[in-house]
Amino acid sequence: MEKEKFYRILEFNRINKKEISTACMQFYAMLNRQNAFVIPDIQSLAKMLFTREDYKFVHIPLNSKEIGACQLRINGQRYLVINTSKSLANNNFAVAHDLYHLMIQEYSSENGIEVYLDNYDEDKNEMYANAFAGNIMMPSEDFIQTASFIKNSLSLGNKEEDKAYLNELTMIINLMEYYKTTYMSVVIRFFELELWDKNDVRLVDALLYQNNEDDQRKIFGQLSKAKGRNSIMEPTKEDDFEILMEEAKVKAKKLLELGIMTKQDFDYRLRELKGYYESVKGDIR
């Protein structure tokens, strides 16, 4: 990410802090909660919420390296597709991002495809969605307390000798693991909560330079191996298409038996569903 863009994001989040907070409280109210809390599994929660809104929550490994999630509308059914070719951390942030569009902004793609890209798009609604995602995944009070706990618990090096900002990077990695989210979302949270000084140009440059998924994948691969669990930086490659296809067949067969649907329409709808799957399995951009 370019430094100028990074500062524009921080400024946007600062100026719109009240609106972002209101959106978060609206979201918590949907969950019958009065206060912010750490969501243990954002995807499981989102699946319940999206089902309530008549959305199918689908995992498909797309070929695209940029698409994090997309909305589809096929045969009248709405889908939120998560690109499982991306890392689990990216999937989680993409889901939180789309919670804003679908539950707060109440926007859905009526035709074709609506895409979430992992590039911090500077469209106003996309910036609101990213800020919202960061807030609900890393609530302010919990983030501040957890960051402080990590800082005090780890054997961090002498700040005067820490030319490569290894202390800060260690904290970021631990918070990524704790919240199961992306590198840049944690970095932005540190600065917008003023735990780190945005005017420290050397720190900002160093952290933006370290925003490299290949390096992060190696680090988390080692951590996960030591802890005996899957890395948040690895793609799950989960694919729900066969389950979706079976559900569509059962539903269509009932309509066929009731005489509501013809055999020709039955075949057409299944072909259309498979056609969409094959198109998004490639690069839909």
Question: 277 or 196: whose pLDDT is higher?
Answer: 196
**Is residue 249 over pLDDT 60?**
yes
The closest alpha carbon to 60, from 270, 230, 277, 233, belongs to 277
DSSP 118-151: TT---SHHHHHHHHHHHHHHS-HHHHHHHHHHHH
Neighbours of 281 (CB within 10 A): 16
Q: Let me know if residue 232 belongs to a domain.
A: no
Is residue 51 within 8 Å of 57, Cβ to Cβ?
A: yes
- Do 80 and 185 fall into the same domain? no
- Note the helical H segments in 34-119: 42-52, 88-99
Q: Is the pLDDT of residue 16 over 60?
A: yes
- Tell me, yes or no, whether 15 and 123 share the same domain: yes
Per-residue pLDDT tens digits for 20-48? 999 999 999 999 999 999 999 999 999 99
Residue 266 has pLDDT above 80, yes or no: no
Q: Which helix (H) or strand (E) holds 57?
A: strand 55-60
| 121 inside domain | yes
Radius of gyration of the chain from its Cα atoms, rounded to whole angstroms: 21
CA distances from 167 to 81, 157, 158, 200 (A): 37, 7, 9, 15
Average pLDDT for the chain: 85
pLDDT band at 283 (very low <50, low <70, confident <90, very high): very low
Two structure tokens written together for 77: 């059914």
Distance CA 272, CA 285 (A): 19
Smallest Cα–Cα separation from 43: which of 5, 105, 110, 91? 91
Which structural domain, as residue segments, surrounds residue 256? 241-285
**pLDDT at residue 73 above 90?**
no
Query: pTM value?
Result: 0.85
Tens of pLDDT, residue by residue over 90-128, are 999 999 999 999 899 875 555 444 455 555 667 899 999
Residues 15 and 132 in one domain: yes
Whether 203 and 274 share a structural domain: no
Q: How far is CA 43 from CA 50, 196, 230, 246, in A?
A: 10, 30, 16, 22
| Amino acid found at 259 | G
Is residue 261 in some structural domain? yes
- Higher pLDDT residue, 64 or 94? 94
The total number of structural domains that make up the chain: 3
Do 146 and 112 share a structural domain? no
In a domain, 210, yes or no: yes
By the 10 Å C-beta count (0-12 exposed, 13-18 middle, 19+ buried), 262 is classed as exposed
- To 5 degrees, how large is the angle CA 223–CA 237–CA 31? 80
**The last residue of a domain, from among 120, 138, 156:** 138
HSE-up of residue 13 (Cα within 13 Å, Cβ side): 23
Answer yes or no: do 211 and 257 share one domain.
no
What tens digit of pLDDT does each residue of 232-245 get? 888 888 998 888 78
Share of the chain above pLDDT 90, in %: 48
Cα(232)–Cα(44) distance, integer angstroms: 16
Instruction: Point out which residues pair with 60 in neighbouring strands.
Output: 83
Whether residue 234 is contained in a domain is answered as no
Please report whether residue 236 resides in a domain. no
182 and 264 fall within a common domain: no
Domain co-membership, 175 together with 197? yes
20 and 133 in contact (C-beta within 8 Å)?
no
